[in-house]
Structure 1
């Protein structure tokens, strides 16, 4: 959420496709994005979703949390869409995200894996620790 907000990616009214229904990312993120404050239209999909390509192609925001290397290719992404890669797979060549690197040529914004969401997660964790510490000092 903070990553989208930081780069002024419009969430309100956006068509969001979350690929992956896991308890760590997929389901919770779908619920967060559909809250009244965010008001996105969220489609929660998975690898067996019928016509998954059509869902991805119409999305303003794509969150890939599937765990299948390079599953999302440039031809699937709407030009200008924001793409957040959360999935990670160990391959013979090393670590790979769910999003193929060529998607960067089509997407308006991209958070790759590795190197996108991980550092942001650590930054938000540190921010939360500081916020809690400051609140404790004010008591």
Structure 2
């Protein structure tokens, strides 16, 4: 009986001294390569959200590989998410319900190199930012 208690004690001590560490890479992606770098898109503008959680940005966005990951930190209702190229043409548009989704993925594959603007908008305001691919 004593051997089982010692073995259990040693096993539990291993968890304390050798914890499992999860990697920070995001995998998989369409081409099978790991994403190790992200590029934050600086967004300007704001939404009139009111309430107790009125501080901080309602939306943040970053480029991860060939997608933009948009994170919704506040419920601002339905948002129209658009991508426009430097000529002002809309190349992508989708409506996202931030009451139900905490993030959205905007595909960039197939778009030619250039400067683009991503915009998140509704009746409460808008946030937008430029990025290059």
TM-score normalised per structure 2: 0.23
TM-score, normalising length: structure 1: 0.22
Higher helix share: 1
- RCO higher in structure (CA 8 A, sep ≥6): 2
Is the strand fraction higher in 1 or 2?
A: 2
